[in-house]
Amino acid sequence: MTSKTEKLLSLLNGQPVIPVLKIASVADAVPLARALSRGGLRAIEITLRTADALEAIRRVAAEVEEAVVGAGTILDARQFDEAASAGSKFIVSPGITSQLLDAAKDSPVPLLPGAITPGEIMAAREAGLRFLKFFPAEQSGGIASLKAFASPLADVKFCPTGGITAKNAADYLSLPNVICVGGSWVAPDDLIKAGRWDEIEALAREASKLRK
């Protein structure tokens, strides 16, 4: 196992759910990260799906010492570099490309790339990656696919994301090749917009108790 895979595992292992966040207003970033951290979910993924995402990462990295902030929806090397410069402790991508692998090779920030086919998983494995995002999980065979990968690709672990909910998260976490899951249910858009941080903290606390 490579040092970067070990670094990524050290950041995310032990936390069953990684909140996948879409920050519409940068003012929400710090109170949201604090609420999730209080609930036991310190590692969070802020996706680059909004204009304020990079600034949100900067603020959380600078102001929420207890949080481990990562960047998601990274599609190319430029975004990788921007997210790393903003203070991301880990980088998440929906897929895997040679450009992303090159960017990650030259950076101390570990990459969690998406892979759903045997070929993609093997390509990531050849690049020294043993911990991958399985996205979109539910649409790509879900639990059945991950069970099928467990034997022929026994040294590869996954973080399934996409269609993961409070109802099915425990089923995914019961699989031997699943380290954690990614999900947005712990921080619903309506609760973020209303600033209902106590309710988000309660959702995070429930999610943090999900164990294998």
Q: List, for residues 33-88, the tens digit of each pLDDT value.
A: 999 999 999 999 999 999 999 999 999 999 999 999 999 999 999 999 999 999 99
45 noted as active-site residue:
yes
Q: Which residues contact 177 (CB under 8 A, 6 or more apart)?
A: 146, 149, 150, 153, 154, 156, 157, 158
Summarised one tens digit per residue, pLDDT across range 151-173 is: 999 999 999 999 999 999 999 99
- Note whether residue 210 is domain-resident: no
- Residue 99: which H helix or E strand, with range? helix 98-105
Please give the tally of structural domains in the chain: 1
- Note whether residue 190 is domain-resident: yes
- Note whether residue 194 is domain-resident: yes
Q: Which residue is it, tokens 């204009």? A: 51
Candidate list 4, 22, 89, 133, residue with the active-site label: 133
- Note whether residue 7 is domain-resident: yes
* DSSP letter, residue 139: G
Q: Which of 153, 78, 151, 89 is nearest to 115 (CA)?
A: 153
Domain extent for 195: 3-205
- Note whether residue 104 is domain-resident: yes
Contact criterion met (CB below 8 Å) for 134 and 161: yes
- Note whether residue 148 is domain-resident: yes
pTM of the shown model:
0.96
CATH number of the domain where residue 38 is located:
3.20.20.70
Contact criterion met (CB below 8 Å) for 72 and 46: yes
- Note whether residue 212 is domain-resident: no
- Note whether residue 211 is domain-resident: no
Candidate list 4, 22, 45, 201, residue with the active-site label: 45
